[in-house]
């Protein structure tokens, strides 16, 4: 399908690497640190699309016309606010308390870049959490690493098994890369 391209995943996320590998396409990972700052007026899906494009811009110019760069960003959106990656265990607990018993959105923005063109898209999944006890939240924060995850949780971890009541949309999107939509976009690219 994409034999003419050398695919680079511009991410250090082990989850994105694992998810892209599901497509059975050869790729390498490369990261150029980018400060993830976005204009305050952006809302919902606009934020991760902007950040995915920002990450792609850090690679410019691409080395040749055989390179296809994939960059992505995921946010958790609750009550009109972004829940980013927590900086402390206390902040992680606070985020999980806010998500408890509510439905939130997970938006992933993806940017496909070659020398000739660039395509962006986003995917939204609605995630409903059961009401979580203080003990459950403390257990998760102490036993897992919520500090490297948007919204302080990984759906593929213990908290997803005990806390997520339902998902409307892509499970893989909640993990950080909407592989089904990505596959469709890559076929058209």
Catalytic residues: 73
The answer to whether the beta carbons of residues 120 and 182 sit under 8 Å apart is no
Dist. CA 142–CA 161, nearest whole Å: 17
Cβ neighbours for 54, distance < 8 A, ≥ 6 positions apart: 34, 36, 38
DSSP 95-154: HHHHHTTSEEEEEEEEEEE-SS-EEEEEEEEEEEEPPPPHHHHHHHHHHS-GGGSGGG--
Cis upstream peptide for 61 (omega within 30°): yes
Q: List Cα–Cα distances, 9 to 15, 20, 68, 119, 120, in angstroms.
A: 12, 8, 9, 15, 15
Residues 136, 46: Cα–Cα separation, whole Å: 33
């Amino acid at each position: 399908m994409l034999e003419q391209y050398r695919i680079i995943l511009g991410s250090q996320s082990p989850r994105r690497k694992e998810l892209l590998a599901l497509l059975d396409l050869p790729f390498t990972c490369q990261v150029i640190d980018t400060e993830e700052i976005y204009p305050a007026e952006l809302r919902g899906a606009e934020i991760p699309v902007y950040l995915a494009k920002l990450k792609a811009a850090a690679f410019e110019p691409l080395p040749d016309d055989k390179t296809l760069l994939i960059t992505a960003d995921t946010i958790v959106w609750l009550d009109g606010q972004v829940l980013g990656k927590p900086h402390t265990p206390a902040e992680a607990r606070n985020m999980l308390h806010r998500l408890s018993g509510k439905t939130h959105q997970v938006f992933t923005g993806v940017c496909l870049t070659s020398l000739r063109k660039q395509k962006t898209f986003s995917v939204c999944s609605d995630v409903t959490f059961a009401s979580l006890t203080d003990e459950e939240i403390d257990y998760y924060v102490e036993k897992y690493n919520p500090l490297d995850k948007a919204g302080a949780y990984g759906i593929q971890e213990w908290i997803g098994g005990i806390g997520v009541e339902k998902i409307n949309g892509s499970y893989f999107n909640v993990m950080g890369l909407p592989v089904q939509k990505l596959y469709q976009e890559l076929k058209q690219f």
